[in-house]
Structure 1
Amino acid sequence: MTEQQYMVRIIGIDPGSRFTGVGIIDTAQQKIQHVHHETIKCGNGDFPDRLRIIFEGVNELIKQFRPNEMAIENVFMAKNAGSALKLGQARGAAICATVVNDIVVHEYAAKAVKQAVVGKGGADKKQVQYMIRLLLNLKENVQEDAADGLAIAICHANNRWAQNRLVSNNTSNWRKF
Structure 2
Amino acid sequence: MIKDFLKKYQEELISEKIQLKEDIDLLETKIREEKKFLALLEDSNESYFKEFTPRDINAKNNKMAEEIRNYLVELNSNYDKKLQKMNFFDGRLDEVNALISNKDIEQTPIIVKAPEIIQQDIDADESVISDSSVSNSELIACLSNIKDLILLDPYRAQIELEKIISSI
Q: TM-score, normalised by structure 1?
A: 0.23
Q: Tell me which structure has the larger Cα radius of gyration.
A: 2
Q: TM-score, normalised by structure 2?
A: 0.24
Which has the larger strand fraction? 1
Which has the larger helix fraction? 2
